[in-house]
Amino acid sequence: MIDLGDFTDHSRRRFVTGLSALPLLAVLPPTVAAQGNTPQGVPELSGTDFGLDIGAAAVNYTGRQAWARTVNGTLPGPTLRWREGDTVSLRVANRLREDTSLHWHGILLPANMDGVPGLSFHGIRPGDSWLYRFQVRQAGTYWYHAHSSLQEAAGVYGAIVIEPREPDPIAADRDHVILLSDWSDESSHAIVRKLRKQADYYNRHKRTVGDLLRDARRDGWDATLADRKAWGRMRMSPTDLADVNATTYTYLTNGTTPAGNWTALFDRGEKVRLRFINGSAMTYFDVRIPGLKMTVVAADGQPVHPVTVEEFRLPVAETLDVLVEPDEQPYTIFAQAMDRGGYARATLSPRMGLSAPVPALDPRPILTMADMGHGGHDMAAMDHGGMDHGTAPAKDASMSGMDHSTHAMPGAGMLKHPASESDNPAVDMQTMTPSRALDDPGIGLRGNGRRVLTLSDLKSTFADPDGREPSRTLEMHLTGNMERYVWGFDGIRFSDAEPVRLNYGERLRIVLVNDTMMEHPIHLHGMWSDVEDEEGAFQVRKHTVSVPPGSIRSYRVRADALGRWAYHCHMLLHMELGMFREVRVDA
């Protein structure tokens, strides 16, 4: 097989909007030709019995051939349509030369059906197949992806739509899946090698002398120099919003580049449901449809009280359902990357062949110390790269020291950090005054003149499904060192960590404190995460909880699924480089 993983032609930036040609081109296996993958169609499979083949195919998104991993010959894989209450069987065959797997993201099922090699099963070896079989216990919008060797980033992912057993309370005349993703001609392994050598390899927007002079005129020399010194001591850049960006990524909608203009059709007078899924490896998207308001009706597959907005941020691995009522004209579905380096785009149209103006990218945001929970420029309120990094943490220093029996919410005022973060080369900063505000739309979205969705807007249509107060609290810190490009929980990478142990049937609270400058979408397999509001009351049920830099998020978990489960950041490279834990639920 050809390896194009080290392709690094930076002139490919001219392909930022991609090519309008078919995404699957030369040297196609027979399954590709049979399935087809036109710019306007993603295959759909429905029923209770499914056959899925994971293989390889040549693709061309940028003007150069590269190799993708595919499901049934397409990228993304087929959309799977299930019905709540049915038992589904999915025979997954491996046509690759390496092990593979499929994980059903956000789906409640037995641990041995979860699809995580090393925890759920051994993986699917080349030439072998695996039968997944489980009862569908929920409805809504979800997705599936590989959990093996970074194959998710290479194309092994697809949408899941589950129809409710009872009539759907979300009434719509038409239904479209909008699956957003990022594609690189480089292999993810090549990207990791570059980041390990130079963490800001893909950051081509560092501040210049001109920026220094501009900031000094605006803020004064003392404040400007203090800001530069603070960032210098942390060995970080305030323009580093994305580890990997449009320097190498092309952003896709349903496997189609912006130039390909994937189109969702509607008829006059219809109410349209758009099921947004962020299937990216590393990209947060900010989504809007200029000229149309969107009514959010579901988050991570679960119904929420309707809230009407003009824009929303969609973290990696999360899903959001919206209703729109378009007039008889085309509209651009515009999803710009959080760092504003590029965008995915589609068209909502009454007929094929139409398009609407594509808005310009918003100005590139600049991080501040306040964005990272450091109380503005108050250097007394932070700890950072000046720590003595002489020793590594003990292997068992993970959760045991952070098990709180009190029901009180931690994090008010100055924060204490686990001992495993001290003198640790895997930790380059700690937030001391973190924010727990849920009404902040996030960096780059504040004060932009549009009504932007916030976490505080999302409220489940049902009460706390458990009703019990948590009997204990587990506090975990999201940590990393950007210079070394390593990630972990409490300063400990997965290979050095003990499992997190839960007792079957218990109700507990998990508190996450983000001690890094990056936003992290944290996903617990097999169980729901019931996010709490700022007072500790149940607010919204999710399967992935995004934690902004310098922030706290807390949620309740009912340990109602026996077995070994994955718990990790869904930024794929963060997970691969240590921000991963095993959770064991024991009887």
Using a 10 angstrom Cβ sphere, with 0-12 exposed, 13-18 middle and 19 or more buried, the burial of residue 525 is buried
User: Does position 7 have pLDDT exceeding 50, yes or no?
Assistant: no
Instruction: Give the pLDDT confidence score for residue 41 in this predicted structure.
Output: 80
Of the listed ranges 192-196, 199-203, 315-319, 526-530, the least confidently predicted one is 199-203
Instruction: Give the pLDDT confidence score for residue 104 in this predicted structure.
Output: 98
- Distance CA(565)–CA(177), nearest Å, equals 28
H/E stretch holding 231 reads helix 221-234
Of the listed ranges 232-241, 402-411, 424-433, 459-468, the least confidently predicted one is 402-411
Q: How does pLDDT run across 41-91, given as a tens digit for each residue? A: 899 999 999 999 999 999 999 999 999 999 999 999 999 999 999 999 999
Q: How does pLDDT run across 100-136, given as a tens digit for each residue? A: 999 999 999 999 999 999 998 999 999 999 999 999 9
- Distance CA(91)–CA(54), nearest Å, equals 11
Instruction: Give the pLDDT confidence score for residue 224 in this predicted structure.
Output: 64
Pairing of β 272-278 and β 174-184? parallel
**Band of pLDDT at residue 536, cut at 50, 70 and 90:** very high
- Distance CA(54)–CA(146), nearest Å, equals 9
CA angle 68, 69, 70 (to 5 degrees): 110
- Distance CA(189)–CA(193), nearest Å, equals 6
User: Does position 395 have pLDDT exceeding 50, yes or no?
Assistant: no
Cβ within 8 Å of residue 209, ≥6 positions away: none
Of 404 and 413, the one with more pLDDT: 413
**Band of pLDDT at residue 517, cut at 50, 70 and 90:** confident
- Closest Cα to residue 570, out of 237, 56, 106? 106
Of 90 and 225, the one with more pLDDT: 90
- Could you tell me the domains of the chain? 10-169 (2.60.40.420), 370-586 (2.60.40.420)
- Distance CA(293)–CA(308), nearest Å, equals 7
Of 412 and 167, the one with more pLDDT: 167
- Distance CA(382)–CA(400), nearest Å, equals 25
Q: Are 28 and 246 in contact (CB under 8 A)?
A: no
Q: Which amino acid is at 353?
A: G
- Which tokens is 402 given? 């952070």
Instruction: Give the pLDDT confidence score for residue 501 in this predicted structure.
Output: 97
- Distance CA(66)–CA(60), nearest Å, equals 6
CB neighbourhood size of 15 (10 A) = 18
Q: How does pLDDT run across 377-389, given as a tens digit for each residue? A: 333 334 444 333 3
Instruction: Give the pLDDT confidence score for residue 214 in this predicted structure.
Output: 72
End-to-end CA, the chain? 46
- Closest Cα to residue 88, out of 72, 101, 75, 107? 107
DSSP state, 421? G
Of the listed ranges 138-147, 372-381, 453-462, 517-526, the least confidently predicted one is 372-381
Instruction: Give the pLDDT confidence score for residue 429 in this predicted structure.
Output: 83
DSSP state, 121? B
CA distances (Å), 163 to each of 144, 305, 528, in order?
16, 19, 19
Pairing of β 529-532 and β 430-431? unpaired
Q: What is the mean pLDDT of the chain?
A: 85
Q: How does pLDDT run across 191-216, given as a tens digit for each residue? A: 999 998 887 777 666 656 566 567 66
- Distance CA(229)–CA(139), nearest Å, equals 51
CA distances (Å), 286 to each of 123, 269, 436, 569, in order?
34, 27, 21, 19
Instruction: Give the pLDDT confidence score for residue 209 in this predicted structure.
Output: 57
Phi, psi for 212 (deg, rounded to 5): -60, -45
**Band of pLDDT at residue 432, cut at 50, 70 and 90:** confident
- Closest Cα to residue 382, out of 401, 395, 369, 366? 369
Of the listed ranges 42-51, 423-432, 477-486, the least confidently predicted one is 423-432
Highest mean pLDDT among 17-21, 427-431, 530-534: 530-534
User: Does position 466 have pLDDT exceeding 90, yes or no?
Assistant: yes
**Band of pLDDT at residue 414, cut at 50, 70 and 90:** low
- Closest Cα to residue 472, out of 554, 552, 539? 554
